[in-house]
Structure 1
Amino acid sequence: MEISEIVAAYIRVLALAVLVVYGYAWVIRTISQRLMRGVAAGLLFGLGGIFSMNDPIVMRPGLIYDARSILLVLSPLYAGPIGTIIAAAMMGAHRLVLGGVGATGGAVSVILVALSGYASTLIPRHRIGIGWGRSLLLGLATVSSFIVLVFLPPEIARDLFLSAAAPVMLANILGVLLLADLLEREKQRVRLVRVLENEASVDPLTKLPNRRVFQRAADRCVEEANNRGRPFSIVMLDVDHFKKINDTWGHNVGDTVLSRVADIIRRTVRKTDVAARYGGEEIIILLPETEEGDASIVAEKIRHAIESEDLIVDVTAVKVTVSIGVAAVDSSGTTIRAAIEAADRALYRAKTTGRNRVELATAA
């Protein structure tokens, strides 16, 4: 294999790497479910390998060199076990379809490279890190692709090993270093974007969604109520005597109490419900497809759970209760603002009539 061919192969690897990185970025940005993300990444890596095999360097008739080993050895890291199986199956099957003297060995090498890549993921991260050391190890793992030589006539195998082993190995190592760096950078970039998005939508103290997230969810419920007549309810909750807690034990204790109350609410409501910090010690909860009677049961369950919880803050036992107002929307034409105001009025009645109780907006 001439040096010019190695250069040409490396340029094609660069082009393929860019396409794979763009595709991988789309996958991890748009698919949140882990299994489906692995399947999509496996299909991406498999297609990348197939494209590379369709534009190879022909070392001899029926014997080709391409970038499949680079993609395969990285599949366990970025596509997971399921994705690696999918990618390996796609590449192995395509190599057999292409045929030639190296077809069987090429298909076997696909399996060995995939297994070598997976084996490298079992090495503890603190031993090899996540930088060039890991990439170098993965690049060396592509040496297992040379199993293809076992399936060739001895004279051809010997000639190829002497003339092609070094440049192929170098191309694979450089390709892995490059592609792993690009994929890792994109993975970290997407992770940073998600962290920033999370910080922009989550209240830092209670870890509950903020009012912006609540408003978006509430708008969807209003649309469902107007178009399909699906009811929803609003629950407004306020910690009783919160100012006294702050004045007695300090704001740090008050913040901890509010955070613990948020934890109890999070454990009590459904995954489809949206509990958000509304302001100060007030928490608002959106209950989709929930009528007033069921919302009242949920509110009472929350009230009882908070009252029954022993909140120990810095060895200080703090008794906490909450007052709750509930308003339901079961017809079209009601705005979210009107529903919140109705729940707020019910909350005010709960506080003025003894606290630690649930009041319904319809009871006014």
Structure 2
Amino acid sequence: MEISEIVAAYIRVLALAVLVVYAYAWVIRTVGQRLTRGVAAGLLFGLGGILSMNDPIVMRPGLIYDARSILLILSPIYAGPIGTVIAAAMMGAHRFLLGGVGATGGAVSVVLVALCGYASTFIPRHRVGTGWVRSLLLGLTTISSFIVLVFLPPDIASELLLSAAAPVMLANILGVLLLADLLEREKQRVRMVRALENEASVDPLTKLPNRRVFQRAADRCAKEASNRGRPFSIIMLDVDHFKKINDTWGHSVGDSVLSKVADLIRQTVRKTDIAARYGGEEIVILLPNTEGRDASTVAEKIRHAIESEDLIVGGTAIKVTVSIGVSAVDSDNTNIRATIEAADKALYRAKTAGRNRVELANAA
């Protein structure tokens, strides 16, 4: 391989890397479920390898060099096991279909590089980190792609080993260093953005969504109720005698009580329900597709779970109870504010009736 060919190959890898990074950034930003994200990333890496194979450096008829090994070695890290299998299957099948003297060896090398990349994920992170050391190691690991030489006639294999091994390794190492750096930077950037979004939407004490998140979700439920007739309910919950807890044991214990109550609520409600800190010791819960009677059942489960749990502070068991108001919405009236006020009034009735009880409001 001439120097000009190496430069051309690196430029192609650079262009492909930019495309892959942009597409990968879109995938990790928009696809939430881990398995689906892995599948999408695997399809992306596989497509990148196919595009690279369609614009290769032809070392001799039927023998090509492209960026597939660079993408494959990084697939286990950024696409996961499922994504790696998808990417390897796509690249291996495409290389075999391209034909030529190196078709079989090329397909085998795809599988071997993918396996080597997956094996590298078992190396403890504290030993190699996520920087250039890991990228260099992965770049060197692409030497496993040279398995293709075993499937070639001895004279061709020895000629390629002497003339092309060093340039190919150099291009692979540089490509892995470049692509890994770009992917890692994008991954960290998305992670930072998500962390900032999480801080802006989660109550720091209870780790529950805040009032803003609840309002957005309630607005969506109101729209569903209005357009499709889907009911939903709202639960308002207040810790009984919370001021006494703070006065007796201190505000740090009061914070622990709220945090524990939030944990118990999370364990009791469905994943589709949204429990949010509404203010002070008040917690509001949105239950989509739930009528008032069913919401009252959920509220009673929450009340019982909290009543049954003792919070141990300094060897002393603190008994905590809550009062709960429930209000339901149907397609005839989807006013969120009125529903919350109805739940709040029901909560007040629960408190005046003796606390540690559930009251159901009239339909909003």
| Paired amino acid for 2:355 | R
Pair 1:291 & 2:291 matched: yes
Structure 2 unaligned segments of length 5 or more: list them.
none
Structure 1 unaligned segments of length 5 or more: list them.
none
Question: Mapping of 1:1-364 within 5 angstroms?
Answer: 1-362=1-362
Counterpart secondary structure, 2:194: helix
**For the residues of structure 2 that align with 1:104 and 1:292, how far apart are their CA atoms?**
65
**For the residues of structure 1 that align with 2:337 and 2:222, how far apart are their CA atoms?**
10
**For the residues of structure 2 that align with 1:119 and 1:270, how far apart are their CA atoms?**
38
**For the residues of structure 1 that align with 2:274 and 2:133, how far apart are their CA atoms?**
44
| Paired amino acid for 2:52 | S
Shift of 1:315: 2.6
User: For each residue in 1:65-94, what CA deviation from the matched residue of structure 2 results, as whole angstroms up to 9, or x when unmatched?
Assistant: 111110011111111111111111111111
**For the residues of structure 1 that align with 2:186 and 2:118, how far apart are their CA atoms?**
21
Q: Would you say the 8 A contact 1:256–1:313 is kept in 2?
A: no
**For the residues of structure 1 that align with 2:166 and 2:243, how far apart are their CA atoms?**
74
| Paired amino acid for 2:42 | G
User: For each residue in 1:214-242, what CA deviation from the matched residue of structure 2 results, as whole angstroms up to 9, or x when unmatched?
Assistant: 11111111112212222211111111111
Give the 4+ runs in structure 1 shifted more than 6 A.
none
Shift of 1:330: 2.3
Relative to the length of structure 2, the TM-score reads 0.97
| Paired amino acid for 1:232 | F
| Paired amino acid for 2:222 | V
User: For each residue in 1:113-144, what CA deviation from the matched residue of structure 2 results, as whole angstroms up to 9, or x when unmatched?
Assistant: 11111111122222222211111111011101
How many residues of Structure 1 are paired with residues of Structure 2 in the alignment? 363
**For the residues of structure 2 that align with 1:13 and 1:51, how far apart are their CA atoms?**
11
Relative to the length of structure 1, the TM-score reads 0.97
**For the residues of structure 2 that align with 1:147 and 1:303, how far apart are their CA atoms?**
65
Counterpart secondary structure, 1:334: coil
**For the residues of structure 1 that align with 2:286 and 2:301, how far apart are their CA atoms?**
15
| Paired amino acid for 1:201 | S
| Paired amino acid for 1:162 | L
Q: Would you say the 8 A contact 1:50–1:91 is kept in 2?
A: yes
| Paired amino acid for 1:227 | N
Q: Cα distance 1:334–1:24, how it changes in 2: closer, same or farther (>3 A)? A: closer
- Taking every aligned residue pair, what percent have the same amino acid on both sides? 86
Shift of 1:334: 3.4
Counterpart secondary structure, 1:5: helix
Q: Would you say the 8 A contact 1:205–1:255 is kept in 2?
A: yes
| Paired amino acid for 1:241 | H
**For the residues of structure 1 that align with 2:300 and 2:102, how far apart are their CA atoms?**
71
Counterpart secondary structure, 1:209: coil
